[in-house]
Structure 1
């Protein structure tokens, strides 16, 4: 600074031959300027005098020597930094404390670098690759198996089952029948073609059938109620000569007493208990 012929705007003492500072075009001696206008340093709380460099960030001020990382204490002068909870941090400390860690390599994903996110975890872009072919997955469709990510073609080569019916890949879900995988939508009744997934069915040879189709095509009919006798529900039935009965239907046609485990008589198409048969 150079001398000025006028006096200090505050104390009015001559500035001739003395250092001074300007504030809104008014001249002040150094002492008056510091007492009136000097900012307090956020770190040391001392005034930042006019002969010191005043570093400001978002309305706060620091001495040049006090402008340091709150974690490692290294100077932040002319270096990139970040603010967290009113603390200033160098980019390395900020990354170590607050940045995401890569799920694959466990290293910090530095601010400004591209980050891939999937199922609540983060990856470096170069770490987010197919486990099999090692090609970047980016935003392409992928399938996860045992916590590893695969592109769809590699997953199909390595793990996927092929539907016994349509021969296409089963990516999710599916049904197993006769030790063969099926798409749910391909697992149909061999008779009426109704979808069987989630329903009860009966197999005949290599083919599944819904209850109605199996009953109509293959099930024996009860000689009493004429309904099908299937292996579902109460599988017990009575067979006599070429006729069959549900166990609950095997009753005397005259007195309706159950004949299961009892002696009985046959008269033409009727079955009778011994008492009713002897009375006739």
Structure 2
């Protein structure tokens, strides 16, 4: 009842204020027209009577409101409608408002006793303020209302800043960036680090560059015997590193007699290669210098020894 009467009083006072303004304009304006159209007219005509009637009505309403314990003294003008405020008043942002006029700048819903936020002197409800002005999460695009992670020139909810590959949040090792996306160290190296030519695992520290590839220092060894290279020198066979012995073994250029590499002249016999001085009779061990021999059980013999043994 009291609130309804208060609103009625607010409306009446606003109407009265407008009426008095119009009435005063008419009274003050009439003499200027009367100079050419009709004799001057005294301003003490029906207007005072009408004003008295309105004042009486207003006084009666104020008296009734006072009896109900409602203060009818104007409390300023509403920021939204610029009309006097007699009843309930909202004081916010250094200004006064009718309660129904204190609304969100964006959705126009009454703010009442709700939390509100200020932007450029205007009030906003909590939902609209965050949707319009709060930073957005780079992952979910939702507004960030509390803690915020700033990385890669973007903002993120803390729970949404994780490895692009495995989805795990980052530990004290931090993260690595690739094409604007964050990765944990393990996935970053697995996806983008060069791979070792020996074990095919990511290379993250020191490496050896050879044979158009990168190698962990411990993986750059002979492809057959797995021994490191003395002095760093190695032989290339089909893109893989070999020590001298196994390189010649792969190429078939080891002497069948001494099992050492042949770098100069050689003799080819029995599908094998020999240093000339190592191609000897298997019995008397004399050099088969002329290249003529007899073969028995995959061994070479001079003619004399072959006749003695197998003749």
Query: Which one has more relative contact order, counting CA pairs under 8 Å at least 6 apart?
Result: 2
Q: Which has the higher helix share?
A: 2
Q: TM-score range by the shorter chain?
A: 0.3 to 0.5
TM-score when scaled to structure 1?
Answer: 0.46
Structure with max Cα Rg? 2
Name the structure where strand makes up a greater proportion of residues: 1
